Structure 1
Amino acid sequence: MFFRQLFDQESWTFTYLLADEETREAVMIDPVLGQMPLYRRLLDEYGLTLKYAVDTHVHADHVTALGALHDEFGAESVHGVGSGAACVSRFIADGEELAFGRYHLQAIATPGHTDDSFSFFLRADGCAMVFTGDTLLIRGTGRTDFQNGDAGIQYDSLTRKLLTLADDTIVYPAHDYKGMNESRIGEEKAYNPRLQVADKAAYIALMDSLDLPNPKFMDEAVPANLKCGRA
């Protein structure tokens, strides 16, 4: 499988470009509008046909490229069920799959960071990997204090869904702020400080105590992303 992990320095966002090397069908997860020149170059250089452009949720820290990728390359834009973005081509439900070539990206509803948060699971080349958006970060979890976030629901998404995956499943989050590109489910169980709590009540108390400032681009990004990044 063709795989590229791309990074937007301004928003600390990871974007993932995945493709079947035989059919050249591709999927892009969490694309950033400001990185469109890079996406054009990569799709052209590698002769890829972008079949899907997927956001793991309505982001508050950057403007998505879903609309631009749909308009320029004909990619089907995808959000999880529960998103309020009427602009997307398809709302995917828990357990549904996006096929590209011989591969299948499986949707996992993981609300809590936002009420529309989804993760996506993939088996490729003998590896299991999960793209966790902001639900599970490397040594962290996504905040739950806006966009209908709920720490208790996020705890259930983590413990009942993501952390039930095999320990060697590779974790690819939407962001990282500490210089790490990937992790494993087993690592996060062992070393993620937000997962070392006794129960749901303790997790809720922990998340409620964070007192974080709003994302810098929130007022711009959320309305724009409900329109798939179109002005």
Structure 2
Amino acid sequence: MCSFVNRLKPVLAYSLCFQKGYSRKVPAHIKHIGPGLRTSKQPLDSVIIRPYCSRMEFGKGLFFRQLFESESSTYTYLLADKESREAVLIDPVLETVERDLKLVEELGFNLKVAVNTHCHADHITGTGLLKNRLFGMKSAISRHSGASADILLSEGDKIHFGKHHLSVRETPGHTDGCVTLVTEDHSMAFTGDALLIRGCGRTDFQQGCSRKLYESVHQKIFTLPPQCLVFPAHDYKGQTASTVGEEKRFNPRLTKSMEEFVDIMVNLNLPKPAKIVDQVVDCGLWNVGPLLFNVCHTCEVDDLCKG
């Protein structure tokens, strides 16, 4: 019996790491989880246990929830300080405002800021409607976006909620107003459309510039720690998150040279985003030319159209 228990100790230790949400290296002496089963093709002493999911609540009093809107494949992120109950919502979607409001109310959070990582051409933000429903909530977006908001963000700005904050890193290229939001401990980066999981935002319209996007990702995102979790604004293949280290190794576009990257982006031949016509109609504009994208999006954030 004692020998059987001793054989189980490594397995029990391994499973406890997942239960407690730790991120640690697997001890070198644990060679197998069970007969014939390995966790990776790599040597186990180099494998990092990195559990994450949409329900995970990180340490240091930070609440985190990942939400999804299926029509536009958009992720919305709710972060909150567990003690003060102050919260931030990243990239809210118009169609899911009721869902988000209900969740915030059920959890007893005080939503301080709803922030958009950029002006979207593929879905309509819910920030304006949220402001009408939540007294005191402020909207935020990059000052380079051309949109109106309570808070216009620049490089190095911080969005505070309780004892936590998100730092702003300007990552233009998909649009001029794209930003990446990074937690204070560099454990999570919300990359909008600049960096997707094994991909990136398109650069063929709406102020797009392939060279600028390549520089943004390499200088502002790939300089984060390799274990930093990457949470994009969209995913179309059922993936929920990645890491900086994974994208630096496996992203099929951004691992190339700049010239190769530019050539790839020029030849994507992507169709127009499905929601572009809807947004133009909502603004009373029927010309879907690229110069009107920013005009449409000026009324996204605060329902104040400058067009």
TM-score (norm 1): 0.94
Which residue does the alignment assign to 2:270?
A: 212
2:211 alignment partner, one of 145, 152, 155: 152
Q: How does 1:61-76 map to 2 (within 5 A)?
A: 61-73=122-134, 74-76=136-138
Q: Aligned to 2:98, what secondary structure does the other structure show?
A: helix
Give the share of equivalent positions with the same residue, in percent.
44
Whole-angstrom CA distance in 2 between matches of 1:203 and 1:194:
6
1:103-144 C-alpha deviation (Å, 9 max, x unpaired): 0100000000111110100036xx610000000000001100
Which residue does the alignment assign to 1:162?
A: 221
Which residue does the alignment assign to 1:50?
A: 111
Which residue does the alignment assign to 2:154?
A: 93
Which residue does the alignment assign to 2:50?
A: none
How many aligned positions are there?
A: 227
Whole-angstrom CA distance in 2 between matches of 1:224 and 1:48:
31
- Structure 1 position 224, deviation (Å): 4.8
Whole-angstrom CA distance in 1 between matches of 2:150 and 2:70:
28
- Structure 1 position 225, deviation (Å): 3.3
Q: Give the number of the structure with larger relative contact order, counting CA–CA contacts within 8 Å between residues 6 or more apart.
A: 1
2:253 alignment partner, one of 194, 212, 228: 194
Which residue does the alignment assign to 1:26?
A: 87
Which residue does the alignment assign to 1:84?
A: 146
Query: What are structure 2's unaligned runs of at least 5 residues?
Result: 1-61, 280-292
Whole-angstrom CA distance in 2 between matches of 1:122 and 1:89:
21
1:173 aligns with 2:245: no
8 A contact 1:94–1:109 mirrored in 2? yes
Whole-angstrom CA distance in 2 between matches of 1:8 and 1:225:
19
8 A contact 1:31–1:65 mirrored in 2? yes
Whole-angstrom CA distance in 1 between matches of 2:141 and 2:153:
6
Query: RMSD across aligned C-alpha pairs, in angstroms?
Result: 1.4
1:7-55 C-alpha deviation (Å, 9 max, x unpaired): 0000000000000011110000000011011111111101111100000
Whole-angstrom CA distance in 2 between matches of 1:172 and 1:123:
15
1:114 alignment partner, one of 169, 175, 179: 175
Which residue does the alignment assign to 1:227?
A: 299
Whole-angstrom CA distance in 1 between matches of 2:278 and 2:118:
16
Which residue does the alignment assign to 2:15?
A: none
TM-score (norm 2): 0.72
Q: Aligned to 1:85, what secondary structure does the other structure show?
A: coil
- Structure 1 position 220, deviation (Å): 3.0
Whole-angstrom CA distance in 1 between matches of 2:87 and 2:116:
15
Structure holding more strand per residue:
1
Query: What are structure 1's unaligned runs of at least 5 residues?
Result: none
- Structure 1 position 68, deviation (Å): 1.1
Whole-angstrom CA distance in 2 between matches of 1:79 and 1:204:
27
Which residue does the alignment assign to 2:77?
A: 16
Which residue does the alignment assign to 1:4?
A: 65
Whole-angstrom CA distance in 2 between matches of 1:157 and 1:219:
29
